């Protein structure tokens, strides 16, 4: 028995792009990328596992990749958490995620899919505001 995993080759991460490009950001491109991120996160929240959604819990620029056509791909699903209803709040057993991108409720271990929306907001701010 052999098992093969085929993954799409991605050129670079959003984190790398943010570090390299600090001026002259194309607002239309930022909007397009953000729409792709929102669509991807919406998909995983709604129906990614047997009709049940998952909470990503560690959404950050280093986990957002670009394929060779420049489309957004979300990677590293190692710490996802399954949920049944979109509005459910769960108590989780450990503090997971990258602190800089965590919603406040993640620190107290009781949260819902909204923690991913919070992280998206932070990522959008990084896209729109060049850091010096």
CA-closest candidate to residue 8, choices 58, 81, 72: 72
Residue 58 is a catalytic residue: yes
75 in Cβ contact with 41 (< 8 Å): no
In angstroms, the Cα distances linking 5 to 2, 71, 90, 119 are 10, 21, 31, 28
What is the spatial distance between Cα 113 and Cα 88, in angstroms, rounded to a whole number?
8
Strands in 64-67's sheet, in edge-to-edge order, are: 10-13, 64-67, 72-74
Which residue is catalytic, options 58, 67, 76, 87? 58
112 in Cβ contact with 123 (< 8 Å): no
102 in Cβ contact with 115 (< 8 Å): yes
Residues labelled catalytic: 58
């Amino acid at each position: 028995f052999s098992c093969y995993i085929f993954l799409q080759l991605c050129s670079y991460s959003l984190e790398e792009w943010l570090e390299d490009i600090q001026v002259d950001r194309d607002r239309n491109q930022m909007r397009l990328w953000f729409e792709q991120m929102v669509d991807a996160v919406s998909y995983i929240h709604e129906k990614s596992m047997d009709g049940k959604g998952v909470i990503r819990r560690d959404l950050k620029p280093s986990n957002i990749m670009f394929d060779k056509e420049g489309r957004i791909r979300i990677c590293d699903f190692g710490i996802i958490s399954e949920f049944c209803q979109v509005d459910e709040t769960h108590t989780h057993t450990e503090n997971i995620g990258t602190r800089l991108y965590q919603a406040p409720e993640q620190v107290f271990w009781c949260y819902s899919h909204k923690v991913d929306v919070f992280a998206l907001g932070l990522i959008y701010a990084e896209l729109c505001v060049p850091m010096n």
